[in-house]
Amino acid sequence: MATENLTLGKALTMGLRKAMEDDPKVLIMGEDVGKLGGVFRITDGLQKDFGEERVIDTPLAESGIVGTAIGLAIRGYRPVCEIQFDGFVYPAYDQIVAQVAKMHYRSQGKVRLPIVIRIPYGGGIGAVEHHSESPEPYFIHTAGLKVVTCASPLDAYWMTQQAIASDDPIIFLEPKRRYWEKGDVDTSAPASSAYPLHASRVARPGTDATLVAYGPMVKVALDAATAAEEDGRDLEVIDLRTLSPLDLTPVYESVRRTGRCVVVHEAPQTLGTGAEIASRVTEECFYSLESPVLRVTGFDIPYPAARVEEEYLPDLDRVLDAVDRSFGW
């Protein structure tokens, strides 16, 4: 047993390290990932231990990072690309959406691109513009990409390794404002003990309503569930973990019991993850629903200035307000 109390960031570092140890084909590439260890220090120490050939400080160009990762993958490597912040993934958007996503399909399965694109995402850190965005819908909407996000150090540790081991191209979204939050991770446990990559999980069992969240919003949902206890409401919280493919079986199972569903995400509302979930839950659980599926999301505006981001981001109060509305329907 080697259970350690790790921050989510440190758990990611350890997951990457383990993946690099396990497979010499794994490469890390991105801006400032070498000596600096990345602006969030997620690759801290990796260049020192694995060398500049495997931990590559790239020129400053995101399209270049992902585009060359494609070539390296074709050549048999397993590149893990770091995009420095969510708002800087767009120069690579063409390579991701038009190239990464389609090569397996176009080649009728002859070309595999085992690429992981890590993106710190979401707000809540008081940053300037382009540093707080939630671009997941763009990627979820693109067939050929898989999209996952972790919410705990334990998941951070295992999901990085699983994503790197997968032959699917994976957008790996890291909830940057949770980088410093801690949790227990047993780093000596066998990989076979890890929860599957593309599976949702009940983060808190409950009976009265179902909260669906992922990434940075899981903590908000859990806090809301704790607060709701005071009102005598027992909320179930589901951590989606995988956004493409969605694994909604636990959600359906939950909503059939509770009859109420609230989806929480930071990304704007329109055509967001919540819209898809609401549609599917409505279809699957129609006769169990006591009220419509409600969404608590960012607004349909550009991410605002940091001093008002607290008002923009779903918080405990907004989640509880939605729960109230669900009960008051």
Partner 1 sequence: MAKGATASRTRSTRSRAAASSEPEMVQLLTPDGKRIDSARDSYGTEYTVDFTDDEYRGLYRDMVVVRRLDAEAEALQRQGELGIWASLKGQEAAQVGSGRALRPQDMAFPTYREHGVLYCRGIDPIMPLGLFRGVDQGGWDPNEFKFQMYTIVIGAQTLHATGYAMGINKDGKVGGDDGEAVIAYFGDGATSQGDVNESFVWSSVYNAPIVFFCQNNQYAISEPIERQTRVPLYQRANGFGFRGIRVDGNDVLASYAVTRAALDQARSGEGPTLIEAYTYRMGAHTTSDDPTRYRLANELEEWQAKDPITRLGTYLREQKLVDEDFFTTVDEEAKAAAQHLRERVLTLPDPDPVSMFDHVYPHGSPEVDAQREKFTAYAASFEGSAH
Residues that bind ligand TPP (CB under 6 A): 31, 60, 62, 84, 88, 91
Strand partners of residue 26: 78
Name the region of 240 (left: φ>0; alpha: ψ -120 to 50; beta: rest): alpha
Site string for partner 1, 179-218 (x = CB under 8 A): ----------------------------------------
Which member of 226, 270, 279, 290 binds partner 1 (CB under 8 A)? 270
Structure tokens belonging to residue 328: 């008051």
Q: Backbone phi, then psi, for 182, in 5-degree steps?
A: -105, 155
What dihedral do alpha carbons 74, 80, 85, 91 form, nearest 10°? -10
Per CB under 8 A, 143 contacts partner 1? no
Which residue lies nearer to partner 1 by CB, 275 or 306?
A: 306
Whether 58 contacts 64, CB under 8 Å: yes
Give min distance, CB of 62 to ligand TPP, in A.
6
Q: Is 306 in the site for partner 1 (CB under 8 A)?
A: yes
Nearer to partner 1, 31 or 239 (CB): 31
Pick between residue 155 and residue 174 the one whose CB is nearest to ligand TPP.
174
As a whole number of angstroms, the distance between CA 53 and CA 66 comes to 17
Least spacing, CB of residue 304 vs partner 1, in Å: 4
315 binds, among partner 1, ligand TPP, none (CB under 5 to 8 A by kind): none
Q: Between residues 31 and 239, which has the closer beta carbon with respect to ligand TPP?
A: 31
| Identity at 302, one-letter amino acid code | P
- What is the C-alpha to C-alpha distance for residues 114 and 98, in angstroms, rounded to an integer? 16
For residue 305, state whether it binds partner 1 (rule: CB under 8 A): yes
Residue pair 316/224 in contact (Cβ under 8 Å)? The answer is yes
The CA-CA-CA angle for residues 7, 14, 70, to 5°, reads 120
Scanning 27-35, 100-108, 156-164, 182-190 for contacts with partner 1 by CB under 8 A, the matching segment is 27-35
Distance CA 205, CA 236 (A): 5
Output the smallest distance, CB 30 to ligand TPP, in A.
10
Q: How far apart are CA 11 and CA 6, in angstroms?
A: 6
Q: What residue ranges bind partner 1 (CB under 8 A)?
A: 31-32, 34-37, 39, 57-61, 63-64, 87-88, 90-91, 126-130, 269-270, 299-302, 304-309, 311-312, 317-318, 321
